[in-house]
Structure 1
Amino acid sequence: MTIKVNGKDVTLEKEVTVKELLEIQKVEMPDYVTVQINDEILDRKDFETLTVKEGDVVEFLYFMGGGAI
């Protein structure tokens, strides 16, 4: 199964949950990442049950705060 993660093709042996994908991709600070699949932002409570499917486009997003200089 092939999906796209942050613009790169990733091949997986089987469908995995979003939580498993975060582990497979070794995402840093998984508690702070927002996950978007096919342009839809996911609710964190769905990470353990929602599976990634063939052809899905996944983005791991980090929102950073900033300040003025």
Structure 2
Amino acid sequence: MQIIVNGVERRLRATTLAQALDELDYGDTIIATALNGRFVAAAARASTVLANGDALEIVAPMQGG
């Protein structure tokens, strides 16, 4: 399946958001996710189905002052 991850087109085998994050090596990293411009809570990632052409944004929290 072809999806866009943070602006870059990627081919993944994953069918759910949780599987995609594993395939992209995010594992247990604390991140925020949005699919097609809509926030997806961590608890909903396993049940969030991906479709060809979806746009996924992954954001990691940053420390600073």
1:5-52 superposed Cα distances (whole Å, 9 cap, x missing partner): 111111134x5111110110112652x110111111111110111111
Partner of 2:18 in structure 1? 19
CA distance in 2: counterparts of 1:39 and 1:53, whole angstroms = 14
> 1:60 aligned to 49, 58, 61, which one?
58
Which segments of structure 1 move beyond 6 Å, counting only runs of 4 or more? none
Consecutive unaligned residues of structure 2, counting only runs of 5 or more, are none
Structure 2 length as normaliser, TM-score? 0.83
CA distance in 1: counterparts of 2:61 and 2:23, whole angstroms = 22
> 2:45 aligned to 31, 43, 47, which one?
47
Structure 1 length as normaliser, TM-score? 0.79
Aligned length: 65
Consecutive unaligned residues of structure 1, counting only runs of 5 or more, are none
Greater C-alpha Rg = 1
| Deviation larger for 34-43 or 20-29 | 20-29
Letter in structure 2 aligned against 1:49? S
RMSD: 1.7
